[in-house]
Chains A and B, each alone.
Chain A
Amino acid sequence: MSAYPLRDNAPDRLRAHSGRPLRDISPEAIAAGELNADDLRTHADALRQQAEIARDSGYPQLAANLLRAAELTNVPNDELLRIYDALRPERASYEELLRLADYLEDSYDAGENAAFIREAATVYRERNLLRR
């Protein structure tokens, strides 16, 4: 795994969620008030690279999780919390879950998450885990 760890072996390719390159994230930039929270957040690209590393190292489930995570980097905090809540038992109807999946796919190109939620919707319907 020659690229891993990316922090040491590929720092020039790393950038924050905001797009700011890693090399520009310095104590001086903080002191100058130039950085905000998105400058210290993970970019989807890094998560996709990590997913590849995980898959190649024999951790396919972790890789799948990191790919879902990469899709979620663009989903705002509050929405993430809302989706999580909808997936808890007896919170949402079957149709609501399907709509949520469509929304994620359409708005954030989050196909992996959409498939994941559709799978949940199917099982929830069979196992009586939907809102009554």
Chain B
Amino acid sequence: MKQKQRSKRFDLLSKRDINRETYVEPWPEAGLIVADSPYDPQPSLTISAAGEVVEMDGVARADFDALDRFIVSRALDLAVAEEAMALPSQNYARMLADINVSRADIARLVAGCSPAKLTDIIRHLNVLEMMMGLSKMRIRRQPANQAHVTNWREHPALLAADAAEAALRGFAEVETTVRVARFAPFNALAILVGTQTGRGGVLTQCSVEEALGLRLAMKGLTSYAETLSVYGTEMTFVDGDDTPWSKAFLASAYASRGVKIRFTSGTGSEALMGRAERKSMLYLEARCLLVVKGAGSQGVQNGSISCIALPEALPGGVRAVLAENLLAAMLGLEVAAGNDALASHSNIRKTAKLMLQFIPGADFIFSGYSAIPKRDNLFGGGNFDAEDFDDYNVLQRDMQIDGGVQPISEDEALQVRRKAARAIQAVYRKLDLPAITDEEIEAATVAHSSDDMPRRDIIPDLEAADAFMAGEGDFVAVIRALQEGGFDDVADNILEMGRQRIAADYLQPSAIFDADFKVRSAINDPNDYAGPGSGYRPAGERWAAMQNIPQARSPEGFIEPHTGQPLSRLVEIGPASKGAPNEVALALGPAFGKILTTTIGGLSHEDVLEAILTGIAAEGMIARILRVYHSSDCAAIGYVGARLSGSGIGIGLQSRGTAVIHQKDLAPLNNLELFPQSPSLTLRTYEAIGRNAARYALGLATVPVAVKIDNGARLRLIVQTALLHRRETDEVDPDKLPQELRFDWEPDL
């Protein structure tokens, strides 16, 4: 049989990361459609004279499921519903993109929209308009970020160290979870102590089964919870062993203990659980969000979360994920916008997707940036992880966009990691838990992942965790242990968390604590974006901190290595005139061998001169060296050389190493050969340049010098290029004529 013909290009493309993903065509009957399922209802709402909703989105009250009942009873503002439902969906879409319409005006009306109405608004918006909408509708002014801190070994010292580093990097919330559920109290304890070592006021949580999560919160080991999952169909809700009422009660229970809560929803979960009822993911998410709002949650994490790969397998999936973030913000909910679970193999794709939340800003751009390597992430996560820290910092610096973190130095990281590990060691010692050794402290200080940690004996750790959970031990005991261990500042931070619990200010929408341990929420820091020149933008100290990546160097540092003592063998002897026909003129830039003494590629100017002169001599010609003062431009230098050269052939050479072979009858910006990639030029190349120049002077047929193409050179060296050129330009004297030089050198022939 004939072998199918294979394109080498298609073969290569098939191996790219983007082609490790799964793509599927929509199938509305299975819920595999991100928006606009043909089975999605048309928006409608009928309110009886008695003020009761008797029909919503084409369903009569008698046929309402539990979610419909919850939504009409608790989520919808019936006072505006009639006006809200009557306003055409396109008007909402235009208001979202219109800087002259305020967030409050939109929020007032959105409060009366049914799920199908919300979905219908999105129909009219492209991603750019949705990003405009999100930047306006986000409820807190300043965006923030949440980190995931877990490790496969569930090592307490490593958890504390990583949590401390995450806090130092600026994450406002840190979430952990468990591999073995019994470890929950210790993991929660480790990130509590770790974060409060890094920065007081970082909120923490441990994602576990609902009842266990509540018990951790009651012990004061966590300060927020976001695992309150809701689903868009009744059957999925029941499969998740909850109802809107049980979830809402849980929310009140958490709040009664002073714990911030955030619900979890997101596209794709219903389809994944086989209960989508032929509806689009976005329509079901709109239902979820109204349940979340009706339950009185201050916020939601959505953006598909752990199901992200499912919408991304479908057309329009990434757009739909932004749409659900926007809907949540429109409903006045704090949004932790996803970007947590592994969503793509492709770095291009994952970064492009991130931009939809990063650029407009979200209350939390990530609902879990993996502040640890992927292999230690127990959330199935790590779309961005610890190995992307520097990339992320640079993205912030590039766009002057506050992504909620800042760069830190290696020394700062080591210091805070060691302190956090020692603090948890002290807590373990005072509470009589299995000892954490000094060896473990040192390992956690420098570790990247749990591979770098010594093994712990899990059996006694688990037994101690069980006993701790069953006993009276709580954060009061932890604070005392820290005091006794000499960690008063960490103890004070945890105590302040306790005081904040009493004040309960951080139960308000989108609350975080800032660097000064002050609460910042939609109440006292409401988003005031109203178009250009308004709203949050990083400035002052914050922008300075974002810029201050340790990799950035001072401009002087780029020039200094290329400077040195003027070459003693290169002496100026007087004004240059036209020379004899058997010569090639070599014209140098004004700083060559004087202020600057090496090329950008690190070749000494002496060696470069020798190489060119050797090449010219090898063809039996004589070299005459000139210095040009009135210009630092390579073509201008070379052109002067050609005009003064007796043969009419000149070589121009800048200090950074860029060279040209010129001929007197050519236009100034034309040339015989140009060598713009100075970093790629070797002494052998310079010799070949000299040889070719001589051959042109002799009228011989000449093969141009082959120079390797290195397209990365400009990328790597453009700063040096600019700064070295500027240094040379500093030496320009517009009134000074070209001078003749003598170079003390004999051809080695």
Contacts and interface: CB of A to CB of B under 8 A. Distances in A.
Specify whether A and B are partners: yes
Interface of A: 1, 4-8, 11, 14-17, 22, 25-27, 30-31, 33, 35-37, 39-43, 46-47, 50, 53-54, 57-66, 68-73, 75, 77, 80-81, 83-85, 87-90, 113, 116-117, 119-120, 123-124, 126-127, 129
Nearest to B296: A65
Nearest to A82: B211
A7 B255 contact: no
A80 B243 contact: no
A89 B238 CA distance: 6
Interface centre among A61, A84, A119 (most CB of B within 10 A): A61
Contacts of B252: 65, 68-69, 72, 113
Given A85-B211, A127-B65, A129-B66, A50 B491 contact: no
Interface in B226-245: 234, 237-238, 241-243, 245
A7 B514 CA distance: 14
A59 B332 contact: yes
Contacts of A39: 476
Contacts of A58: 104, 107, 332
B500 interface: yes
A63 B252 CA distance: 11
A60 B296 CA distance: 8
A39 B253 CA distance: 18
What are the 3 tightest A-B residue pairs by CB atom distance, in nearest-first order?
A65-B296, A69-B255, A40-B498
B499 A80 contact: no
Contacts of A77: 214-215, 218
A80 B52 CA distance: 32
Contacts of B297: 62, 65
Nearest to A21: B502
A50 B505 contact: yes
Given A35-B476, A47-B256, A127-B65, A66 B242 contact: no
Given A5-B518, A84-B214, A37 B296 contact: no
A61 B502 contact: no
Given A25-B495, A25-B498, A65-B255, A89 B504 contact: no
A34 to B, nearest CB: 10
A57 to B, nearest CB: 5
A82 to B, nearest CB: 10
B507 A31 contact: no
Given A30-B479, A80-B253, A42 B502 contact: yes
Given A41-B257, A73-B256, A36 B476 contact: yes
Contacts of A85: 211
A80 B480 contact: no
Contacts of B522: 57
Given A6-B505, A61-B293, A88-B241, A25 B499 contact: yes
Contact of B523 (A40, A57, A68): A57
A35 to B, nearest CB: 6
A41 to B, nearest CB: 7
Given A41-B257, A84-B214, 20 more contacts: A5-B503, A5-B524, A11-B503, A25-B498, A25-B499, A30-B476, A36-B476, A39-B476, A40-B495, A40-B501, A42-B504, A50-B507, A53-B523, A57-B508, A61-B75, A61-B293, A61-B294, A62-B509, A68-B252, A69-B254
A120 B237 CA distance: 14
Contacts of A89: 237-238, 241-243, 246
B295 interface: yes
A7 B499 CA distance: 8
Given A57-B522, A84-B246, A88-B243, A37 B214 contact: no
B294 A72 contact: no
19 contacts: A4-B508, A5-B505, A25-B495, A39-B476, A40-B498, A42-B257, A42-B501, A60-B77, A62-B298, A65-B251, A65-B296, A69-B255, A71-B256, A77-B215, A80-B214, A84-B211, A87-B245, A88-B242, A129-B243
A50 B256 CA distance: 12
B381 interface: no
Contacts of B505: 4-7, 50
A22 B258 CA distance: 14
Contacts of B219: 37
B488 A50 contact: no
Contact of B256 (A8, A72, A127): A72
B250 interface: yes
Contact of B220 (A40, A47, A53, A71): A40
Interface string B468-495: 0000101110011001000010011001
A71 B474 CA distance: 23
Contacts of A59: 298, 332, 508-509
B630 interface: no
Contacts of A54: 508-509, 523
A81 B480 contact: no
A62 B107 CA distance: 15
B488 A27 contact: yes
B429 interface: no
B502 A41 contact: yes
Contacts of A26: 495
Contacts of B389: none
A119 B69 CA distance: 10
A116 B245 contact: yes
Given A16-B502, A58-B107, A59-B509, A75 B249 contact: no
B97 interface: no
Nearest to B526: A57
Contacts of B241: 88-89
A110 B479 CA distance: 33
Given A27-B488, A30-B491, A61-B296, A41 B501 contact: yes
A89 B523 CA distance: 35
B4 to A, nearest CB: 54
Given A40-B498, A69-B252, A8 B508 contact: no
B74 interface: yes
A5 B512 CA distance: 12
A120 B252 CA distance: 15
Contacts of B14: none
Contacts of A116: 245, 248-249
B36 interface: no
A17 B737 CA distance: 88
B503 A14 contact: yes
B523 A37 contact: no
A103 to B, nearest CB: 14
Contacts of B670: none
B90 interface: no
A119 B501 CA distance: 30
Interface string B438-476: 000000000000000000000000000000000010111
A22 B503 contact: yes
Nearest to B290: A61
Contact of A123 (B66, B107, B242, B295): B66
B508 A87 contact: no
Interface in B514-569: 518-519, 522-524
A54 to B, nearest CB: 6
A64 B248 CA distance: 11
B70 interface: yes
Interface in B602-657: none
A6 B129 CA distance: 38
Contacts of B479: 27, 30
Interface in B61-90: 65-66, 69-70, 73-75, 77
